[in-house]
Structure 1
Amino acid sequence: MMVDPEILMRLLPMHARLNPTGHILQAGPTLTKLSEGRRLVGCRFLEVFEICRPRAIKSMEALLATPGRKLHMRLRDRRRTQLKGFAVPDGSGGAVLDLSFGISVVDAVRDYGLTSTDFSPTDLTIEMLYLVEAKSAAMEASRTLNKRLEGAKIAAEERAFTDTLTGLRNRRACDHVLDRRLRNREPFALMQVDLDFFKQVNDSLGHAAGDHVLRQVAGIMLNEVRQIDTVARVGGDEFLIVLDGITDHAILSSIARRLIERIESPIPYEGEECRISASIGIAINRGDQARDSLCQQTDLALYASKRGGRGRHQFYNRTAIGAPGLPRDPSLTAGHPEEG
C-alpha cells in the first residue's frame, strides 16, 4: 500500500521515493535544497548518491535485497556531503529512502543554510541544532564580554599612564619608558623642560589660563618631536622628553632651540596674552646608567640653565656642572648654552 506523497513530504523532509527502475519519483524539500538547483526527479538514485557501504549496492535490485540495512552514502556534488540512509520497499517494486546527516549535521547546516524547518519535528537533530545554537550564542557572548573587558583594561591602563589635563604621558609612563630603554641599554637623550614665569600667569589670569597654557605647550612639544619619542608632564609646569636614538649635541640643540622659541611666543587667552619661556636641561644615555642618576643629571643641567638667565638649554657635563649651589664653569657662557 502506497503512502500518501504529501504525508511523506511532511514527515520525512529528507526522503527520496524510488520507482522499480531506481529513478527518483519524489524528493523531500530538504533533499531538494541540498541539490542546489539540480532537478532530482527523473534521475537514477545512483547518479545522485554514491553508496559507500555496503559497497555491493550498485543497482535497485541490490538496494531492495538489503531491507533495513543502514546505508553510508554521499552526494555526488562539489561538497561531497555525507549522509546516512535507510531504504524500505514500498510494496510496488519501488522503495522509500529516508536520509539524515548523522554527525555531519553541523557542517550541513552551515553549508546549506538549513534551519529547524528542514528536519522532521521529532528528529533528534533538532535538539542538536538547539544545542549548537546555544553554544554558538554562549561563545559569541563570551567573545563580546572578553572584548569589552579587554577594552576596559586597555582604557584603564591608558588612563593610568596619561596626564588628564594635557593628554601627555605622566611620570609613571615616563618612568616605564626610561626603565625599558635603560634596561636594553638603548642610546637616547632625556630633556627636562621647566616653564619660566608660569606662576605669574596663574597669579594674574587665574588657573584656567594656566591650564590653557599647559595644553598649548603640550601641543608644541608633540609637534616638535617624533611619534616614537615620549613627552610627559611630570609636575605642575615640568615636562620630560625622551628622544629615542638621538645623542648628537647639534641635533638636540636644534630641537631645544625650536621648543624655546615656540614656547616664548605669546599665547592668547580671552583677549589677554600669556607670556612664558622655557629652560631645558639635557642628559644623554650612552650605556649602563640608572634612572635616578640620569634624571639627576637633567635636573642639574636644568638648574644651570635657570642660573644662566632662563629661556635657554644646557647639556649635563660632569666637569662643568656640579651640585646645586655651586658656580657654573666660566666656559659655559650664556651665549653658548649648547656647549659642554
Structure 2
Amino acid sequence: MGWNGRTLAVLGALGAVAFVVLAGPVGSIAWSGVPYGVVGVFCCVATVVGIRRHRPRHAAAWWWVAASHAVWSLADTAYYVLAAFGDTTFPTVADALYVLGYVPLLVGVALLVRRARPNGQLGGLVDGAVVATGLGLLGWVLFVGPVVAGRGDDALSHLVGGVYLGSDVVLVALAAHLVASSVRLSRSAWLALAAIALLLVGDSTYVWGAVLPGWAFTALSLGWLLSNVAWSAAALHPSMADLSDREAPAASGMTPRRTGVLLVAVLLAPATLAVMQLLDLEADYAVALASAVMSVFVVLRMGMALRAAAASLLAREEMRRALEHQATHDPLTGLANRAASTEHLARALAAARAGRAHVALLFVDLDGFKGVNDAHGHRAGDDVLREVAHRLAAAVRDGDVAGRLGGDEFVLVLTDVRDVEDVLAVAQRVVQGVAEPIVADGHLVTVGASIGAAVSDTASEPAALIHEADTAAYRAKARGRGRVELYDHALRAADAEVTAAEAELRAAWPVEGLVLDLSPVLPPPPAAPWPAPVALAGQVRWQRRSGRDLEHAALVAAAERAGRTGDLGRWGLHEALRQQRAAGPSAPPVWVPLLAAHVAGTHVVDDVAEAVSAHGAAGGALAVRTCGPSALATPASLAHLRELRSAGVGVVLEGLTAQGTALGELHAVPATALLLRSGDLPEESLLVLFTRSARALGLDVVLDGPPRAEVAPAVQALGLPVVQQTSGVRLPAPR
C-alpha cells in the first residue's frame, strides 16, 4: 500500500490496542473514545489525501465516503461525551448522527457499484433487490425481531434499530451486486468490501451486546474503527481510480457466480422456515412476505433474462449477417466482391445446365479511370467507382448480379439468357450509361467502358467464362474502347491458338518462325514526298509451322503465360540490332519491344548491354519500347530504365494518355519519347499543353497510328511524328 498505507495500518493497530486497553482493563468508556476519535479523523483526512493524490475522474463516490467518515467522527465524539456523563440510553443524539452517516456511505457505495457495472443497470438492481430481500429476512429473524421483542413498546428504539439493520442490508446487497457483476475486483475493491464486512461486525453489537461478555463486546466494537481504516486504505491505494473511473468489464448475463448468489438469497426464505419448524418456533409472517417479494423479483428477472437472451440471439444474427455481407461485398461500392461474384456465377451455371438455359457474363473494364485518379485524386476516383457501381446495379434484372473484381474491373452475371442479341443490348446500354458525366469530388468527369461478353455452353466453368469475357474486353479496348465485343468462335479459336502457342513456348526455346516487323516513324506533313523515317518501331510475330500465325499482341499473351518474356525480349534485341547493322550506318534507331515483366527483372540492363556489345552498335542506335503505366508503378522498372538512359539507350513509353498523365509526373519519367495511341488523343487544347510540357522536359511525343480528323490539324501544327501501321517491313540491305 506504500508508506502512507503502512502508516495508516500502524496507526489503526495502535488505536485498536489503545481502545481495547482503555475500554477493557482500564474500564473507561469515555477515555476509550480518544483513540477512536483520533483514528476516525485521521482516516477521514487519509481518504481526502487519496482523492487528491490519484485524482479519479469520477471522484464523487469517494467524497461521499469521506463525508460518511466525517459524520461518524462527529457521532463518535458525541457518543463518548455522553458516555462521560453516563447518558448512553439507546437511542441517543449520537445515534441520529450514526444513522445520518449511513446516507453518504450508501450513496458512495452505490456510485462505485454503478461505475463497475455501467451497463445493464436494471438487471443488476433486480438482482440486488433479491439479495436485499433475502438478507432482510435473515436480519429480521435473527436480529431485528428479537430486538423489537426485547425492547417492548419503545417505538423510537424499534425505528432506530430497524434503520441500522435496514441500512446494513442495503449495504450488503450493494456489495453482493458488486461481487456478482464484476469479472475482476481490484485491490481497492477488496479493501472496500472488507470495510463493509467490518462495519457489519461492529453493528452486530446492537443485537448481541446484551448477551455477550464485556471483552467480546469490546472486540466487536473494533469493527467500526477497523472499517474506517479499511476505507481509508482503499482510498489510498492506486487502484481506487480504477474502481471509480474504469468501465470495468462486467460479467455478461447470468454468470455462475451471480447465479450462485441469487440462489442462496432465494433459498434463505425456505431455509429459514425449515429451521423454524425444526426448532418448533412460532411462524413469522415475514417469511411469507419475503417469499412473495422474491418470487415477484425472480419472475421479473426471468423475463429480463429471456429478453436479454432473445436480444443476444438477434444481435448475433445481425452480426452474422453483417460479417457475411462484409465477406461477400466490396466495401467501397457495395457490389458483390470477386469471391461472391464467382460463387454466384457457379450457381447460375449449375442452374442453367439443369434448365437447359444459358448464362452470360459481361466483363466491364473502365476507360479513362486512371486519368480521373491522376487529375483529381483518389477521392474523385472512389466517387466514380461508386457511381458506376450504382449504374451497373440499376442495369441488371432481378436475379442477375453486378460485382466488382477489383480496381476498375466489374462483372455482370446475366441468368436465363435466351438470345445473344439481348446480352449485347444490355452491354450497349451499360456502355451508354457509364459514359454519362459523373460528379466526382466536385469535378464533372467522364469515363468509358470496354465490355467483353461471353455466353456459357453446357460445359462452361466459372473461371473459363471469366477468362473468355476478359479476353473479349481486351479486344474491345484494342479496337478503340467504349465498345462491346463478344467472345465468338473467331476469338475462341484465336484464344485456343494462344493456349497452344503457350504450350509450345513452355516446351522449348528458342523457337523457329519469329519475325521482327519494323514500322517507320515518319514526320508529319509537310515533308518530302518520300520522307526518311526518324525511327523504326518494332513488333515481333510468330510464323508457326503448325497452327495459325500469332500477331504481336497474341504472342505477348502467350509469352507472358509461358514465362518467356525475357527470352522474347532478348531475341528482339539481337534481331533488331542484326537488321540495323545489315542496313548500314544510315539506318535509323530501332524501337525494340520489351515486356513489363522483363523490364522489371534483374537482367534487363545486362541483356541490353550484351546485345549492343555483340553487334558493335552505339547506345543511341537502340531504344526499348515498354508499357508506361507498368514502368511508372514499379520502382524496379524505373531504376532499370534510368540505368539504360544513362548508357545512352533510348526509352519509349507506350500506354500513357495525355489526359491520364499528370504533368507533374512527366518530370520523373525516364524516357526519351512518349507513344500515344491515336484513338486516345484528347481535345486540341489539352494535347497542345501536354506536348509542350513534355518537350520542355526533353521528351518527344509520337502518335501510334494516324490521328482522328478533328485533331489532325493540331497534330500537324505540333509536328508530331506518326508510326505508320504497316506489317512485314524489314530493313533493306545496303547497296
TM-score bucket (shorter structure): 0.5 to 0.7
**Mapped pair 1:229 → 2:400:** yes
Instruction: Return the alpha-carbon distance in structure 2 between the equivalents of residues 205 and 299 of structure 1.
Output: 28
Matches within 5 A, 1:147-186: 147-185=314-352
**Mapped pair 1:305 → 2:479:** no
Instruction: Return the alpha-carbon distance in structure 1 between the equivalents of residues 489 and 554 of structure 2.
Output: 12
TM-score using structure 1 length:
0.55
Asked if the contact 1:247–1:284 (Cα under 8 Å) also holds between the matched residues in 2, the reply is: no
Counterpart position of 2:379? 208
Matches within 5 A, 1:117-266: 121=288, 131-185=298-352, 187-266=358-437
**Mapped pair 1:289 → 2:460:** yes
| Higher RCO structure, 1 or 2 (CA under 8 Å, sep 6+) | 1
Instruction: Return the alpha-carbon distance in structure 1 between the equivalents of residues 440 and 453 of structure 2.
Output: 31
Instruction: Return the alpha-carbon distance in structure 2 between the equivalents of residues 123 and 160 of structure 1.
Output: 54
Distance 1:210 1:124, change over 3 A: closer
Which letter maps to 1:201? V
- Select the structure of larger CA radius of gyration: 2
Instruction: Return the alpha-carbon distance in structure 2 between the equivalents of residues 268 and 128 of structure 1.
Output: 65
What secondary structure does 1:168 align onto?
coil
Which letter maps to 2:339? R
What secondary structure does 2:414 align onto?
strand
Once the two structures are overlaid, the 10-residue window that deviates more, 295-304 or 271-280, is 271-280
C-alpha displacement of 1:132: 4.6
Instruction: Return the alpha-carbon distance in structure 2 between the equivalents of residues 247 and 189 of structure 1.
Output: 10
Q: Could you report, residue by residue, the CA deviation over 1:274-316 in whole angstroms, capped at 9, with x for unpaired residues?
A: 2221111111124232211111111111122112211111111
Q: Which runs of 5+ in 2 are unaligned?
A: 1-286, 499-552, 556-735
C-alpha displacement of 1:122: 5.8
Asked if the contact 1:169–1:232 (Cα under 8 Å) also holds between the matched residues in 2, the reply is: yes
Counterpart position of 1:80? none
Aligned match for 2:450, one of 279, 282, 298: 279
Instruction: Return the alpha-carbon distance in structure 2 between the equivalents of residues 289 and 201 of structure 1.
Output: 36
Distance 1:245 1:308, change over 3 A: same
Identity of aligned residues (%): 34
What secondary structure does 2:335 align onto?
coil
What secondary structure does 2:402 align onto?
strand
Asked if the contact 1:198–1:276 (Cα under 8 Å) also holds between the matched residues in 2, the reply is: yes
C-alpha displacement of 1:320: 3.4
Instruction: Return the alpha-carbon distance in structure 1 between the equivalents of residues 313 and 326 of structure 2.
Output: 20
Asked if the contact 1:282–1:316 (Cα under 8 Å) also holds between the matched residues in 2, the reply is: yes
What secondary structure does 2:489 align onto?
coil
TM-score using structure 2 length:
0.27
Which letter maps to 1:284? V
Instruction: Return the alpha-carbon distance in structure 1 between the equivalents of residues 349 and 415 of structure 2.
Output: 11
Instruction: Return the alpha-carbon distance in structure 1 between the equivalents of residues 415 and 432 of structure 2.
Output: 22
What secondary structure does 2:417 align onto?
coil
Asked if the contact 2:328–2:337 (Cα under 8 Å) also holds between the matched residues in 1, the reply is: yes
Asked if the contact 2:328–2:336 (Cα under 8 Å) also holds between the matched residues in 1, the reply is: yes
Instruction: Return the alpha-carbon distance in structure 1 between the equivalents of residues 441 and 332 of structure 2.
Output: 19
Instruction: Return the alpha-carbon distance in structure 2 between the equivalents of residues 122 and 134 of structure 1.
Output: 18
RMSD: 2.5
Which of the two has greater strand per residue? 1
C-alpha displacement of 1:150: 0.8
Asked if the contact 2:448–2:482 (Cα under 8 Å) also holds between the matched residues in 1, the reply is: yes
Which of the two has greater helix per residue? 2
Distance 1:313 1:243, change over 3 A: same
Asked if the contact 1:209–1:269 (Cα under 8 Å) also holds between the matched residues in 2, the reply is: yes
What secondary structure does 1:320 align onto?
helix
What secondary structure does 1:220 align onto?
helix
Counterpart position of 1:33? none
C-alpha displacement of 1:164: 1.4
C-alpha displacement of 1:131: 5.0
C-alpha displacement of 1:183: 3.2
Asked if the contact 1:229–1:241 (Cα under 8 Å) also holds between the matched residues in 2, the reply is: yes
- Number of aligned positions between the proteins: 208
